[in-house]
Amino acid sequence: MTLPKLTIGKITLDVPIIQGGMGVGISWENLAGAVAKEGAMGVVSAVGTGYRFPELVKKDKFGRPIGPENTHSREALKRIVQRAKELSQGRGAIGVNVLCAITDYPRVVRDAAEAGADAIISGAGLPLKLPEYVKGFDIALIPIVSSARALKLICQTWEKRYQRLPDAVVLEGPLSGGHQGFHKEDCFKKEYQLESLLPEVLEEAKNWGDLKVIVAGGVWSYQDIKKY
């Protein structure tokens, strides 16, 4: 089976895979750049970027960045994105994952856009105001959801407030390493598994046009990718 290309807004990926955005110390320029070089979307985590380049930030006596402006450093994120793009050699795309739950969320989203990211992926809450923070930038916006209800709310809100829709959506099941909002006991119920959630999310996505759905959580192998 030949995997089809994936188009998200103005982005076309030869390999229809989006690398998950993993927090402090994992999803920075080396991983994201290597993934993009293969024709997929590499994703930089915007969390804790001050730890990547400590020389760019103010630190306490233990060497830890002081405050959100240094923990989630604008200059460090810019350097990470730029280096990831250099490593990609012009292939694939570089996205930035920004958690809704972090302090300075609006500022960090803007920082990612200014850094030259091709896409912003956002979850750990409902990114209902995400388009507001990237005004003036031609950048793909990809919210993360765990239900059709969440997708509907995001689409309704974005269309009403900002006259735009998501460029794609990531559906996370309970096996993902993210912050999906499932109660512990729900993680083991059949109706909350990724394969159960996907049909209703696909149906909701159809209500909003050609909205691409990317599944996450329990997608470990080529066989899993072919299945979904």
Q: At 193, is the pLDDT very low, low, confident or very high (cuts 50, 70, 90)?
A: confident
At 178 the pLDDT is 64
Q: Is residue 1 part of a domain?
A: no
Q: Which domain holds residue 184?
A: 6-227
- Coil vs helix vs strand at 45: strand
Residue-level pLDDT at 173: 79
Residue 83 — pLDDT band, cuts 50, 70, 90? very high
Checking if the pLDDT of 115 tops 80, the result is yes
Does residue 143 lie in a domain region? yes
CA end-to-end span of the chain: 13
CATH code, domain with 189: 3.20.20.70
Structure tokens given for 40: 């997929």
Name the token pair of 119: 């896409």
When divided into structural domains, the chain yields a total of 1
The yes-or-no verdict on residue 119 having pLDDT over 80 is yes
Report which of 65, 25, 67 is spatially closest to residue 44, judged by C-alpha positions: 25
φ, ψ for residue 100, nearest 5 deg = -60, -30
Residues of the chain with pLDDT > 70: what percent? 96
